[in-house]
Structure 1
Amino acid sequence: MTTEREYTGDYPDKTLYIPGPTEVRDDVIDAMAEPMFGHRMDRMTDLYTTIVEDTKEFLGTDNDVVVLTASGTEFWEASTLNLVDEHILCTTCGNFGERHAKVADRLGKDVDRLAYEWGTAVKPEDVRGRLEGSDTEYDVVTCVMNESSTGVRNPIEEIGDVVAEYPDTRFVVDAVSALGGDYVDIDAHGIDVIFASTQKAFAMPPGLAVCVVSEDAYDQELESDAASWYGGFQRTLDYYDRKGQTHSTPAIPIMLAYRQQMKHMLEEGHEERDRRHREMAEYTREWAREYFDVYPEEGYESQTVACIENTRGIDVAETIETVSDRHDMVFSNGYGDIAEETFRIGHMGEHTVESIETLTDAIEDAAGL
């Protein structure tokens, strides 16, 4: 049974290299300390319309954007309720793809899985084969862009091109740990719904979920007999069109932080931010191959989270603790059944190659490499 543990505030600062939350700029944190105001005031309209339109500009999309007080998990549930009448095909190659399928199971949908071993990427030709060979007409196909449990980056662009050939099927992408740090042309590849959490590559505090919604997805929800109340596309987008606000009370301080961080992201630019993340990923993989190995299938490695195969058999938990104690840095063990077989480094948000090198030096010190 859990016992109460008082939060004292007396803790050493640790630099975060986990798959999220990640490091947040000081001025972004400071933005949350502005005086409170009402969520139905004109000031809220100014704030919310700014972050929505800035998000569209940064991502380079003409599709609609929803920003809600929630984690990205909200849009697993909402997209399923909004778009799936009966049949959904979930591609799974790790924990988070499987969780999406379990959400649909729990919501009473007819779930088919296109499943791969952990570490292996989803293949567009397999998606095509399933869609062509099945008698089932799927309402939705799902895929995780960045499977952070295994460090796999799935080829969602090519998968989206396949799904786009089926005009009655929507393509839903979980980009929770990738969007903002890994460039994707949303509109060009038939991605109907793509969502993320702000505490990952957006490098903001936790508490907001960002979702991009196509016109086809919006229209499909209109034809449905049921939809999510909180994350319904019609409800959220129509309210934005009428009022320029959220339909329910939002976490205003975090939206103020979002506004500040989006200034930095727009200044850097989507493509430049993508380049910086790619350089961090390449450095981390080179380091991993020198001392260990990389876990994901070659050619499908994540741009935001490195999953490193523990070929030396180091004590991962002990190494994490030593790095934390000696260097005030935190990285992550592997996920689930591969907790000791792998470890993970989050190279996302505001990190640079230089800051990632500081961590790998610390790991070398702690593990005696």
Structure 2
Amino acid sequence: MEKREYAEDYPEKTLYIPGPTEVREDVIEEMAQPMFGHRMDRMTDLYTTIVEDTKAFLGTNNDVVILTASGTEFWEASTLNLVDENILVPTCGSFSERHANVAERLGKDVDRLEYEWGDAIKPEDVRDVLESSEKQYDVVATVMNESSTGVRNPIEEIGDVVAEYPETYFVVDAVSALGGDHVDIDAHGIDVIFASSQKAFAMPPGLAVCAVSEEAYSREVGKDSASWYGGFQRTIDYYDRKGQTHSTPAIPVMLAYREQMKHMLEEGHEERSERHREMAEYTRDWAREHFDTFPEAGYESQTVSCIENTQGIDVAATIEGVSEEYDYVFSNGYGSQLGEETFRIGHMGEHDRDSIEKLTDAIEDVAGL
């Protein structure tokens, strides 16, 4: 690949993709503060504020870790921290499959509970595997929001099932849902749940947010090996001692996070979830009027709609036309499997029903619907 010079004169586009998404101007402005040291008292004030505010927003008593990374970091870290040998990964799309691939690359014994893309993971199937398998699974790892297919898996019910097996820990990839889809972490035995800042948190990319149960922390303490960067003991103990991160973080992004968390706390977790639900319902109603929805009925995502291209429109040309004529950007289907068969609308973060309607109106115009 040859160098392509960054020109700095690109037109501004409104993002309706499954992340990154739109960021408030006052949140962006926070990143322009003068730099300070990551071992200064000011850093302790900043980091303890964002950690404790995140706990308050999520309504959890679990420990919270915020690191400079994408949420992908905790795919790897949770596997290293909790899995000695066996992990069960239900797969129903690209990202759940990728979670299984990560565990395999780390040398773990991975069993998949496979579903067709578009179908949701069923709690009773998870129970059947846990009951019938001769293996002792260290972890069941499930994606909450399969953004490749627009499926929202019933992680609460799955967590209730896994909780019946106290030696098995429940890990949830909520990268594209947490912050826009309410989940009671503590009530459903979720040992690890993680997200990326650039999705429903409506932040610039660069931070991974993870809530860790006391049981998961203790599990890692008793192991011979764990992740160095994302180790639960290393990150949580350092926070308890110093109120900081063990390694130099992206301080400007954390300043932005502090400002955004003010907005999120003011709105409230359940209220923010309700706004996302309204956007999702509008988008699905629109999709069914003109196309169809791809996910299994009753399991549709609250943050990303995957729409089946039943009219056979040229998805790539429509995306380009909407971008050129309206400066709105939405997404094609994920990968070669769904590229022209579906398209996706990210209704997350600071969008509302009115802003989503502007996009659907633009799609109708460009596609001649």
TM-score, L = length of structure 1: 1.00
Counterpart of 2:312 in structure 1 is 313
Counterpart of 1:194 in structure 2 is 193
1:63-78 equivalence runs, <5 A: 63-78=62-77
Counterpart of 2:106 in structure 1 is 107
Unaligned runs of 5+ in 2: none
Counterpart of 1:252 in structure 2 is 251
Deviations 1:37-83 (A, max 9, x none): 00000000000000000000000000000000000000000000000
Q: Distance in 2 between matches of 1:280 and 1:334?
A: 19
Q: Distance in 2 between matches of 1:219 and 1:31?
A: 36
- For the residue of structure 1 that corresponds to 2:22, the secondary structure is coil
Counterpart of 1:144 in structure 2 is 143
Q: Distance in 1 between matches of 2:352 and 2:338?
A: 27
Q: Distance in 1 between matches of 2:5 and 2:37?
A: 31
- For the residue of structure 2 that corresponds to 1:194, the secondary structure is strand
Counterpart of 1:50 in structure 2 is 49
Deviations 1:199-248 (A, max 9, x none): 00000000000000000000100111110000000000000000000000
1:1-369 equivalence runs, <5 A: 2-336=1-335, 337-369=337-369
- For the residue of structure 2 that corresponds to 1:173, the secondary structure is strand
Provide the aligned length of Structure 1 versus Structure 2: 368
- AA partner of residue 204 (structure 2): P
Unaligned runs of 5+ in 1: none
What is the CA distance between 1:265 and its match in structure 2? 0.1
- AA partner of residue 359 (structure 2): L
Q: Distance in 1 between matches of 2:327 and 2:18?
A: 17
Deviations 1:262-291 (A, max 9, x none): 000000000100000000000000000000
Q: Distance in 1 between matches of 2:285 and 2:2?
A: 43
What is the CA distance between 1:130 and its match in structure 2? 0.2
What is the CA distance between 1:8 and its match in structure 2? 1.4
- AA partner of residue 25 (structure 1): R
Cα RMSD (Å): 0.3
Q: Distance in 2 between matches of 1:96 and 1:311?
A: 24
- AA partner of residue 162 (structure 2): V
Q: Distance in 1 between matches of 2:4 and 2:41?
A: 41
- For the residue of structure 2 that corresponds to 1:227, the secondary structure is coil
- AA partner of residue 340 (structure 1): E
Deviations 1:181-209 (A, max 9, x none): 00000000000000000000000000000
- For the residue of structure 2 that corresponds to 1:32, the secondary structure is helix
Q: Distance in 1 between matches of 2:318 and 2:16?
A: 14
- AA partner of residue 60 (structure 1): G
Q: Distance in 2 between matches of 1:9 and 1:354?
A: 30
- AA partner of residue 235 (structure 1): R
- For the residue of structure 1 that corresponds to 2:266, the secondary structure is helix
Deviations 1:309-336 (A, max 9, x none): 0000000000000000000000000011
What is the CA distance between 1:308 and its match in structure 2? 0.1
Q: Distance in 2 between matches of 1:333 and 1:343?
A: 4
What is the CA distance between 1:297 and its match in structure 2? 0.0
What is the CA distance between 1:87 and its match in structure 2? 0.3
- AA partner of residue 155 (structure 1): P
- AA partner of residue 153 (structure 1): R
Q: Distance in 2 between matches of 1:63 and 1:73?
A: 20
Deviations 1:337-359 (A, max 9, x none): 11100000000000000000000
Identity %: 81
Q: Distance in 1 between matches of 2:50 and 2:232?
A: 18
Q: Distance in 2 between matches of 1:25 and 1:338?
A: 32
- AA partner of residue 173 (structure 2): D
Q: Distance in 2 between matches of 1:123 and 1:164?
A: 15
Runs of 4+ in structure 1 off by over 3 angstroms are none
Q: Distance in 1 between matches of 2:222 and 2:314?
A: 54
- For the residue of structure 2 that corresponds to 1:143, the secondary structure is strand
